[in-house]
Structures are given as structure tokens and as C-alpha cells.
């Protein structure tokens, strides 16, 4: 027989979502539900009974988001519960670490072992039981112990003495959104760990204009003595004087003001991002807390927009200066080039002075162009998980602790960075 029997037909039975929901629908006077987490079908069954004014409903759950990552409940069930919390008032309470399931419906009691869906699928047959079904006085005794009768208060209970508030539920939901459960293949299992940290490679390329030089075409070298060195020096001086632009920047108070933006300003903005989000670990690279990734993306996107505005304004600003520079370089080189034209200029016969002037003008304009001098800045972000071998390395652990301590991370967080457990592999995943 493969179908689950009705829960009331056996003492040793199986607690499925269907069995739990059925008992909830049958209740007339009281419902007491105790479990680590809650699934959507059970949450919906409870939600459907909230309008009954004659029914006392008490729900006691764990407040640890890990409950839902392990599969003791579902994010959908939590979302349904939050919706009902916002719309109705009923006894939702918290018992940290609870790993037993209890459902009291009037004088019926189902005591069961909740199934972590991350590790196993759970039985659907009463002949593979995970629950005890009882009737009679046990229901009242359990309700009294949970502080869930007319004559007891929550503070009188052995468990669930603290309320689970809408803010608590929202915090659980936010944590799950930041680090959601994965779909798992229950036929494959492996030793796995979860980490609150990840490696981040963050670089910004092509925005430090004053550190770039523009080379003279090789076939023009040697025609004017030390012209290349003097040209480089002139170009570098021009960059240092001309790379500041005025932009309208919105400050933290929401007010916009004009700011002089240059390489130093951009360096400072980049360093602000690094100091706020990245923690350098000596010899291993920089790490970041996963729950800060969304804020990091917002900050780097804003910096990227600033770079774009800066270079667009700088391109306009440098246009006239580069024309003057081209004229100066051509004027200096032209006598030497006329006296000794490069072979490239003589491919189609002996060039005239006008031909040489035009060819030289073209070469220098190409070398000293906006496209050559200004490259589109690129922000590179690469996220990498921390390898299990690193987590087990004493050297890595010590260097990581030193880095986090310097970054003023509380010790309570440092102690809870990594968790290890036996779990099913993600669907489609492989051990090796």
C-alpha cells in the first residue's frame, strides 16, 4: 500500500502536509502548531481558519533562517504567514532551536519528526511512520505546557514565551532572499559547507589619464633629436593641468553642488568603496560579506556613472587642447621630415612638401587623438566562493581572523562565518 492512511486510522502514522492541513480544517475550538518552520500548504490551511472567531490559534516557530535553507519549511510558507501577520492578529511565537513538530486540533494531537527536505524527501506512507497520533487529555496537557489555553499565558509556557513579530519574519525573509535555498537532488549527497563570505576582485581600468603617454610613430623617430622625450613631457604636463572638470554632484543630504573632479577625486571615491565593502586578507585577496553584495553593486554602479560623466566632460574639454598640441608637434617635426622623408612617405613616388605636411599632419592627429588618449574606463567585478580547502587551512583562518578583527567585525559574527553539514547535491550537480 503506497497511499498515506488518514492520520486518525493509526497511532504510528506519517505527518504529511496533507495530514496536517486536514486536522487544521477539522478543528472547532483550538489549534496549536509547533514546528521549526512552516510550508505553504500548512500556512494556507492556518490562514483559512483565522476568520473563525470561536477558534483559538497559536503558532510557535524557530526564528533561524537556516531552518528554511535546510528544508524544514519553505519561503512560500513564510511569505503566506507574513501576509496573514500583516492582516490579522493571532498568537505567533518563537522558540529558538526547536526541532519537534506538534499539531493540536481540539482533542487530537499529532507529534512528529519534521523532515529537513535538504537531506531527505520524507515518507508519504503510514507504514514508514514519523509521527504519533493521540486523542484525549494529551492535547490539553501539551497546550498548557505551551501556554496556549484559556487559563494560561504565553509567559507561563515551557516554550514559545517570546513573540515572533512581523519584523522578525521580515528579517528571516530578507536573510533567505540574500542567501536563498538551492534545489537539491535527494539521490546524491555530499559534505557541504556554507559561507557568509566570498572573494571579490574589484578593479577600475583606464581612468588614470595622467599616467598614460602617446608614442610617436616609430618611422618618425630620430628625425628631431630628443623630440619624443620632449613630446611625452609636454603631453604629460598638459594632462596634469587639464584633467579636472566641474560636475554637479548630489551630496548625501540630497542637495546638488558643483565639484571639481579629477584623478585624485576619482581615486578617493574608489577607495571609499573598497574600505566600506572589501576586507583584504594577506596573501589571499579581498573578501566581502555576501549580504553586502547588493549594496556593493549599487555603489559601484554609481561610481561607473560618475566615471562616464567625467570622461564625457573631459573629452569635450581636451578637444581644443589636443588640436593645439598637434599643431605644435607638426611644426617642430616638419623641417626634419622634409629633409629626410621616411620610406612610408615615398611608397608612391617622391612626395612634395605639401604631401609631406599632409601625411605628417595625418600621422600626428592619429597619434594624439581623443580615441588614443582617452580609453573608456572599465570596472571589473569578479565574485568567487571561498574553497573548502581554504576554510580548513589554519593559515587562512588566522589571516582571515586578523583581517576581520582589523575591520572591526564583531567576534560573534567571526565565529559564525562557515557552516558545515551533510546535504543533498544541487540538481544537476556533481561530486567532482
pLDDT digits (tens, 9 = 90+) for 256-272: 889 998 888 999 999 99
Q: Are residues 172 and 211 in the same domain?
A: no
In a domain, 196, yes or no: no
Q: By the 8 A CB rule, do 69 and 118 touch?
A: yes
pTM of the entire predicted model: 0.51
Q: Are residues 175 and 206 in the same domain?
A: no
Q: Are residues 257 and 156 in the same domain?
A: no
Q: Are residues 32 and 174 in the same domain?
A: yes
Q: Are residues 165 and 16 in the same domain?
A: yes
Q: Are residues 122 and 244 in the same domain?
A: no
Q: Are residues 165 and 211 in the same domain?
A: no
**Residue-averaged pLDDT of the chain:** 82
Q: Are residues 64 and 166 in the same domain?
A: yes
**Overall number of domains in the chain:** 2
Domain that holds residue 63: 7-181
In a domain, 336, yes or no: no
- Which one has a higher pLDDT value, 184 or 244? 244
In a domain, 194, yes or no: no
In a domain, 387, yes or no: no
Q: Which of 203, 249, 187, 84 is nearest to 424 (CA)?
A: 187
Q: Does the pLDDT at position 382 exceed 50?
A: yes
For position 376, what pLDDT does the model report? Answer: 74
CATH number, position 136: 3.30.870.10
Q: Does the pLDDT at position 38 exceed 50?
A: yes
* Confidence category of residue 211, pLDDT binned at 50, 70, 90: very low
For position 295, what pLDDT does the model report? Answer: 95
In a domain, 128, yes or no: yes
d(CA 36, CA 32): 14
In a domain, 87, yes or no: yes
Q: Are residues 257 and 148 in the same domain?
A: no
In a domain, 426, yes or no: no
First to last CA, the chain: 38
Q: Does the pLDDT at position 104 exceed 90?
A: yes
Q: By the 8 A CB rule, do 403 and 280 touch?
A: yes
Q: Does the pLDDT at position 372 exceed 60?
A: yes
Q: What is the DSSP string of 19-51?
A: HHHHHHHH-SSEEEEE-S---HHHHHHHHHHTT
Q: Are residues 224 and 285 in the same domain?
A: yes
Distance set, CA 308 to CA 49, 184, 297, 374 (Å): 56, 43, 16, 12
In a domain, 214, yes or no: yes
Amino acid at each position: 500500500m503506497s497511499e498515506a492512511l488518514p492520520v486518525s486510522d493509526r497511532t504510528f502514522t506519517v505527518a504529511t502536509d496533507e495530514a496536517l492541513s486536514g486536522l487544521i480544517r477539522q478543528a472547532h475550538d483550538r489549534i496549536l502548531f509547533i514546528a521549526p518552520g512552516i510550508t505553504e500548504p500548512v500556512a494556507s490551511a492556518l490562514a483559512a481558519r483565522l476568520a473563525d472567531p470561536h477558534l483559538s490559534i497559536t503558532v510557535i516557530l524557530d526564528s533561524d533562517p537556516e531552518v528554511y535553507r535546510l528544508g524544514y519549511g519553505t519561503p512560500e510558507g513564510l511569505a503566506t504567514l507574513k501576509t496573514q501577520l500583516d492582516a490579522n492578529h493571532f498568537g505567533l511565537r518563537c522558540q529558538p532551536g526547536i526541532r519537534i513538530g506538534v499539531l493540536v486540533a481540539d482533542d487530537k494531537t499529532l507529534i512528529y519528526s519534521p523532515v529537513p527536505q535538504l537531506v531527505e524527501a520524507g515518507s508519504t506512507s503510514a507504514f514508514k511512520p514519523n509521527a504519533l497520533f493521540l486523542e484525549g487529555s494529551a492535547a490539553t496537557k501539551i497546550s498548557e505546557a505551551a501556554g496556549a489555553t484559556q487559563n494560561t499565558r504565553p509567559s507561563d509556557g515551557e516554550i514559545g514565551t517570546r513573540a515572533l513579530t512581523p519584523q522578525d519574519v521580515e528579517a528571516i525573509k530578507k536573510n533567505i532572499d540574500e542567501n536563498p535555498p538551492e534545489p537539491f537532488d535527494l539521490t546524491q549527497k555530499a559534505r557541504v559547507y556554507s559561507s557568509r563570505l566570498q572573494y571579490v576582485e574589484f578593479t577600475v581600468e583606464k581612468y588614470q589619464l595622467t599616467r598614460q603617454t602617446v608614442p610617436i610613430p616609430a618611422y618618425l623617430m630620430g628625425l628631431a633629436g630628443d623630440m619624443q622625450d620632449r613630446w611625452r613631457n609636454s603631453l604629460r604636463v598638459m594632462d596634469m593641468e587639464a584633467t579636472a572638470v566641474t560636475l554637479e554632484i548630489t551630496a548625501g543630504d540630497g542637495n546638488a553642488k558643483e565639484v571639481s573632479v579629477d584623478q585624485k577625486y576619482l581615486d578617493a571615491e574608489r577607495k571609499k568603496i573598497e574600505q566600506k565593502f572589501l576586507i583584504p586578507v594577506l596573501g589571499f585577496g579581498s573578501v566581502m560579506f555576501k549580504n553586502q553584495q547588493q549594496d556593493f553593486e549599487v555603489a559601484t554602479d554609481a561610481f561607473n556613472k560618475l566615471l562616464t560623466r567625467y570622461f564625457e566632460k573631459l573629452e569635450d574639454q581636451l578637444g581644443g587642447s589636443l588640436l593645439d598640441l598637434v599643431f605644435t608637434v607638426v611644426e617642430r617635426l616638419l623641417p626634419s621630415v622634409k629633409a629626410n622623408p621616411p620610406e612610408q612617405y615615398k611608397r608612391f613616388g617622391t612626395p612634395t612638401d605639401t604631401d609631406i605636411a599632409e601625411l605628417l599632419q595625418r600621422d600626428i592627429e592619429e597619434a594624439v587623438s581623443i580615441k588614443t588618449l582617452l580609453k573608456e574606463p572599465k570596472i571589473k567585478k569578479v565574485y568567487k566562493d571561498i574553497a573548502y580547502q581554504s576554510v580548513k587551512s589554519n593559515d587562512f583562518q588566522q589571516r582571515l581572523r586578523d583581517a576581520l578583527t582589523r575591520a572591526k567585525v564583531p567576534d560573534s559574527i567571526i565565529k559564525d562565518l562557515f557552516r558545515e553539514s551533510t546535504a543533498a547535491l544541487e540538481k544537476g550537480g556533481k561530486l567532482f
